[in-house]
Amino acid sequence: MSCGNKTQKETKVPQPKTESAINDTVPSDTHEEVPSAAIRLLKTLPVRDLPITDSTRFDDFEKIGIPDNGFLKRIQFSPEHTDAKNFRLNYKIPFSENFTSAVVTYQSGEHELFTTLITLSKEDKIIDRLEIAYDEIAESAFGKSSSIEKDKITVTDWNWMSEENPVSENKTYILQQDGTFKTVPSAQNQ
């Protein structure tokens, strides 16, 4: 028999509706009212009020926020680490109504954890990003934490390689009205 003549009965398995299929079932005059998956996800993300201290660690990162469902790919969030995995959207920060500020954590390899504050335009395009926390468990020698306030973000890098006391270095940033991060010069960090 030829390939066109099928002798077996085909069974159709119902497939879950995709977002485009759902949108196709909505009358065209109400398309504006159907939120995108990105907007729905951002609406479910917890909001944390300022001031915030973020020191996300391996011990607790899977207990906060929600696992990424493809949202980060849609907004073209590309981590600096090629082996990035286990992405989580932690929380939103109410800095401005002009853009959205969200905190994302991801694992790199088995021993590193990065937490990044991203700002998004109303069109879900990344405006800027700032690494605000870091944890590594291979040597437990380096870390990063941050203090986030309305008018500034202070990021502290920790180095425990010294045999005496840990060494820390602070960098201060200002979140500008356009959603970009500006480094405060070192003399003003004191």
* The pLDDT of residue 178 is above 50: yes
Return the structure tokens found at 160: 């425990």
Q: For 36-48, how does the pLDDT look when each residue is reduced to its tens digit (9 = 90+)? A: 555 566 778 899 9
What average pLDDT does range 91-95 have in this prediction? 94
| Cα–Cα dist 144/130, whole Å | 12
Percent of the chain with pLDDT over 90: 44
End-to-end CA distance of the chain: 83
What's the mean pLDDT in 29-36?
42
pLDDT for residue 73: 85
User: For residue 164, what are the contacts with CB-CB under 8 A and spacing of at least 6?
Assistant: none
pTM for this model (two decimals): 0.75
Q: What is the mean pLDDT of residues 60-66?
A: 82
> Which of 185, 181, 113 is closest to 152 using CA atoms?
181
> Per residue in 118-170, pLDDT tens?
999 988 899 999 999 999 988 888 999 999 999 999 999 999 887 778 889 99
pLDDT of residue 103: 95
Full 3-state SS string of the chain: CCCCCCCCCCCCCCCCCCHHHHHHHCCHHHHHHCCCHHHHHHHHCCECCCCEEECCCCCCHHHCCEECCCHHHHCCCCCCCCCEEEEEEEEEECCCCCCEEEEEEEEECCCEEEEEEEEECCCCCEEEEEEEEEEECCCCCEEEEEEECCCCEEEEEEECCCCCCCEEEEEEEEECCCCCEEECCHHHHC
Does position 24 have pLDDT exceeding 60, yes or no?
no
The pLDDT value given to residue 34: 38
